[in-house]
A = this chain, B = another copy of it.
Amino acid sequence: MRRRLADVSAPARLAADDEGLGRDELALATRNHGLPLEAMRHDITPPGLHYVLTHYDIPYVPDDTDWRLTVDGRVRRALSLSPEELRGRPAVTTRVTMECAGNGRALLTPRPVSQPWLVEAVGTAEWTGVPLRLLLAEAGVDPEAVDVVCTGADHGVERGVEQDYQRALPIDVATGQDPQVLVAHTMNGAPLPPQHGSPLRLVVPGWYGMAQVKWLRQITVADTRFTGFQQSVAYRIRQEPWEEGVPVTRIAPRALLVPPGFPDFMSRARVVAPGRVPLQGRAWSGGAPVTAVQVSTDGGTTWHQADLEPGRGHRWAWRRWSWNWPAVPGEHVLSARAHDAAGHAQPLEQPWNRGGFANNLVQRVPVLCAERPVHG
């Protein structure tokens, strides 16, 4: 008879070479969900289509009257704020493309056993809230501050460690102005949905999803480095389990295609008719603005320069790209490759690590150009 938390909470592991997806991975895949890639046609992801990853349960908050966000720790004056108070303050709205740090994990060889994303763990929303730097200024941050620890109301166990979800931001990121971190109360003009952190969440433009603490109830200024589970155990880039590893931070550049033509239900293979096929998609990078997108229709042998829409002031949001493909009958593999102003480009070989984090391998989209006319 098992009676301890460790009994239900196995260590991290890699799948064996021939190991199909397990029921544990499936249980995560059926409750978390990605963006159906055809919905990248929308600049702002429609409600319910933005990717969602929750480590534990979605907290049940039918009424936020009693909710308090505290700002405490190494501050001169602790704050306790209700969502209503925060909604009454001057607000900033930022369009942000958010991506899960584990996006692409299920395509890795070997496959880290965790949330099994293919490439769809992304979405773009307009988040409205109060800049975190203003709340910290109001509380008066100790000059010795190092980290700002953010705690959510979501509670669970992970590799034997019972915890509330907690992540820290370095003090310079938390108080930075570019990007400006938000305590958001509004998503696309409406109150946050439960799965996106109702009533309050952190939004850290340009960073992977693990930093965007949902169901935010405490912000603690610390004068030492935070070493909680999600900071020092999870979300580190390691080749071997004993390494200290490098923290996962900003989103690596990525481009994805709106899948052309129409799909087969089961294989999800795409079918197009011969002739001019307009290709389009989105590209983003958290490190530096996207500067170019290249497209290949032959599996990466040759590349074409795509048209890239201007950013229109939305530095932290994806940009649309397009290119016209003269399709001929046969099988093709389509790819798009983003480059950013820091000189980073998506890798053509998988950037593997044990957690399956920040993997921005170029996408491969198999397409059948059918000989006979199709409706696509």
Contact = CB atoms under 8 A, between A and B. Distances in A.
A34 B330 CA distance: 36
Contacts of A34: 30-31
- Centre residue among A4, A25, A34, A268 by max chain B CB count within 10 A: A268
Interface string A9-37: 11000000001111111111111111011
A29 B115 CA distance: 11
Nearest to A55: B265
Interface in A32-47: 32-34, 36-39, 41-42, 46-47
B262 A57 contact: yes
A21 B50 CA distance: 24
A5 B236 CA distance: 44
Interface stretch (A150-158, A178-186, A343-351): A150-158
Q: How large is the interface on A (under 10, 10 to 19, 20 to 34, 35 or more residues)?
A: 35 or more
Contacts of A118: 23, 26-27, 30
| Chain A residues touching B, majority SS | loop
B371 A157 contact: no
A264 interface: yes
A263 B20 contact: no
Given A56-B262, A265-B56, A268-B28, A370 B195 contact: no
Contacts of A331: 1-3
A116 B36 CA distance: 16
A114 interface: yes
A342 interface: no
B195 A49 contact: yes
Contact of A267 (B9, B33, B195, B264): B9
5 contacts: A26-B118, A41-B62, A46-B193, A48-B50, A114-B266
Q: Which 5 A-B pairs have the closest CB atoms?
A: A20-B20, A48-B48, A33-B33, A21-B21, A8-B269
